[in-house]
């Protein structure tokens, strides 16, 4: 029986924090009450907040230079689920897992579904992978996949996406995420327009197979691995393609897939306005697609993204439900700790954005009071909502201090014993 952190271990750890937490919570409650905000209302929102874990995030990603695996890394999708369960057990904000095929292709689909439900986990969007060649694959993706000049390569990439839909269906997923690395490294290598035409033809075939109650997320990326011209390179191209594909197609915004200093919250507002915001891959970056933990570099940007999302939820009503997923790669941290940290940071940005006084903000905007409008946002951003997050976790049965509790447990040590490294390591994203 694989080791799990026991519920009474978490309860005992929580007990040690409960008095301080209660005091901090009451003090914050008083401060918020002065602004007419009921703290329990925010806590209830934090309790229902959810962001999906990327299955590839529980392993060490590495960079293009090296990968330094850590002890006890999961060696297959079943072990990845164990780690996802641990993240959810402690954080209570990550009830679903986003799988990546073929990395996560299960030997027994039903067994995987049952294991997930025994852990109380569900499946979020399934991701296709036509950016790598797999052993035994008939055609190579070296020069592209869905946009390749050769129809047989395109057909193979389309078939893989259809297979992902089928696997996702059996697992109870409701969306397919398509990111392709296709593009050119040299001017002249591609006919830029023809490449996008092929993209649209291939994705239309995939779109036709997307079940009616599913969504298809198309994920753009400015560059890498194509360093001159990526086929689906920006949100404008993504919006045009999703519109052409149809209502089941929406745009996925990965926070690391933009030029430096891009105003990402504005992209969010635009996609919401045109009904095409599908969801997010949350991560953070300093230079490019660094895949760092959420809010490790730009916490204010994350807050501003959620400011748009909270505003959109108010205007659009219940039907507004973008998919939230993490997408990060760990080189120097324990992946479980980084995933917990990111889930909490995304949740923090959401709660800070919920505490913006939107009536006051709108009045300042109407009165052209730029300084006070900015200060209204800053006030919400600088309010320390940590006691709300900790209380939400405790009320949901998680850990008040997830990383402390995880470190005090024997989890990593036990996994190192249970999971001796295999010669062939399971695939993890490094792109």
Binding site for ligand PSV (CB under 6 A): 56, 127, 179, 219, 221, 254, 281, 289, 327, 429, 431
Give yes or no for a contact between 336 and 4, defined as CB atoms under 8 angstroms apart. no
Q: Does 82 interact with Mn ion (rule: CB under 5 A)? A: no
Residue (281 or 330) nearer to ligand PSV, CB: 281
DSSP 145: S
Site pattern 259..288 for Mn ion (x: CB under 5 A): ----------------------x-------
Q: Report, in Å, the least distance between residue 254 CB and ligand PSV.
A: 5
CB proximity list for 260: less than 8 A, separation 6 or greater: 287, 288
Chain center to CA of 366: 35
Give yes or no for a contact between 116 and 84, defined as CB atoms under 8 angstroms apart. no
Q: Report, in Å, the least distance between residue 84 CB and ligand PSV.
A: 16
Residue (280 or 411) nearer to ligand PSV, CB: 280
Name the residue number minimizing CB distance to ligand PSV: 429
To the nearest 10 degrees (0 to 180), the angle between helices 192-209 and 151-171 is: 30
Q: Report, in Å, the least distance between residue 102 CB and Mn ion.
A: 17
Helix ranges restricted to H, 38-130: 39-48, 77-91, 109-118
Q: Does 327 interact with Mn ion (rule: CB under 5 A)? A: yes
Give yes or no for a contact between 14 and 399, defined as CB atoms under 8 angstroms apart. yes
CB proximity list for 347: less than 8 A, separation 6 or greater: 46, 49, 51, 93, 389, 392
Site pattern 204..243 for Mn ion (x: CB under 5 A): ----------------------------------------
Give yes or no for a contact between 256 and 289, defined as CB atoms under 8 angstroms apart. yes
Give 55: exposed, middle or buried? Use CB within 10 Å, 0-12, 13-18, 19+.
buried
Chain center to CA of 377: 24
Q: Report, in Å, the least distance between residue 80 CB and ligand PSV.
A: 14
Q: Report the residue from 124, 182, 254, 390 that binds Mn ion according to the rule CB under 5 A.
A: 254
Q: Report, in Å, the least distance between residue 168 CB and Mn ion.
A: 17
The binder of 284, among Mn ion, ligand PSV, none, by C-beta within 5 to 8 A per type, is none
Q: Does 100 interact with Mn ion (rule: CB under 5 A)? A: no
| Residue with the two structure tokens 């005091």 | 23
Cis peptide before 102 (omega within 30 of 0): yes
Give 93: exposed, middle or buried? Use CB within 10 Å, 0-12, 13-18, 19+.
buried
Reduced to 3 states, what is the DSSP secondary structure of residue 177? strand
Q: Report, in Å, the least distance between residue 286 CB and ligand PSV.
A: 16
Q: Which stretch binds Mn ion (CB under 5 A): 320-328, 378-386, 392-400, 402-410?
A: 320-328
Q: Report, in Å, the least distance between residue 129 CB and ligand PSV.
A: 7
The binder of 429, among ligand PSV, Mn ion, none, by C-beta within 5 to 8 A per type, is ligand PSV
Residue (248 or 281) nearer to Mn ion, CB: 281
Residues 210, 370: Cα–Cα separation, whole Å: 45
The binder of 431, among Mn ion, ligand PSV, none, by C-beta within 5 to 8 A per type, is ligand PSV
Residue (4 or 237) nearer to ligand PSV, CB: 237
The binder of 352, among Mn ion, ligand PSV, none, by C-beta within 5 to 8 A per type, is none
Which residues of this chain interact with Mn ion, rule CB under 5 A? 254, 281, 327
């Amino acid at each position: 029986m694989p080791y799990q952190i026991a519920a009474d271990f978490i309860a005992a750890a929580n007990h040690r924090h409960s008095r301080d937490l209660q005091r901090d919570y009451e003090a914050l409650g008083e401060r918020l009450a002065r602004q007419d905000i009921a703290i329990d209302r925010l806590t209830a929102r934090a309790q229902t907040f959810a962001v999906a874990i990327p299955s590839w995030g529980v392993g060490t990603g590495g960079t293009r230079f090296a990968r330094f695996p850590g002890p006890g890394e999961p060696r297959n999708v079943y072990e990845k689920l164990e780690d996802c369960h641990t993240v959810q057990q402690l954080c209570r904000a990550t009830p679903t897992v986003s799988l990546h095929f073929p990395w996560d292709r299960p030997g027994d689909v039903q067994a995987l579904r049952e294991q997930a439900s025994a852990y109380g986990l569900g499946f979020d969007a399934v991701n296709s992978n036509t950016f790598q060649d797999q052993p035994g694959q008939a055609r190579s993706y070296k020069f592209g996949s869905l946009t390749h000049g050769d129809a047989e390569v395109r057909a193979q990439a389309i078939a893989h996406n259809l297979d992902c839909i089928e696997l996702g269906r059996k697992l109870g997923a409701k969306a397919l995420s398509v990111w392709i690395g296709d593009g050119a490294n040299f001017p002249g290598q591609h006919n830029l327009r023809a490449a996008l035409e092929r993209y649209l033809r291939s994705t239309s075939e995939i779109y036709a197979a997307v079940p009616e109650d599913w969504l298809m997320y198309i994920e753009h990326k400015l560059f890498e691995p194509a360093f001159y011209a990526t086929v689906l390179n920006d949100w404008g191209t993504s919006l045009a393609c999703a519109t052409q594909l149809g209502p089941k197609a929406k745009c996925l915004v990965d926070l690391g897939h933009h030029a430096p200093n891009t105003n990402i919250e504005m992209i969010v507002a635009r996609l919401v306005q045109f009904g095409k915001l599908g969801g997010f891959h949350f991560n953070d970056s300093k230079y490019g697609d660094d895949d760092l933990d959420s809010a490790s570099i730009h916490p204010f940007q994350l807050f501003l993204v959620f400011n748009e999302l909270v505003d959109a939820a108010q205007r659009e009503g219940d039907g507004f439900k973008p998919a939230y997923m993490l997408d990060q790669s760990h080189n120097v941290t324990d992946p479980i700790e980084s995933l917990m940290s990111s889930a909490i940071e995304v949740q923090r940005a959401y709660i800070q954005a919920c505490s913006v006084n939107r009536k006051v903000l709108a009045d300042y905007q109407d009165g052209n009071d730029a300084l006070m409008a900015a200060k209204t946002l800053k006030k919400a951003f600088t309010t320390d909502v940590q006691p709300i997050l900790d209380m939400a976790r405790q009320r949901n049965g998680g850990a008040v201090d997830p990383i402390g509790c995880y470190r005090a447990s024997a989890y990593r040590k036990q996994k190192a014993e249970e999971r001796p490294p295999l010669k062939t390591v399971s695939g993890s994203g490094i792109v």
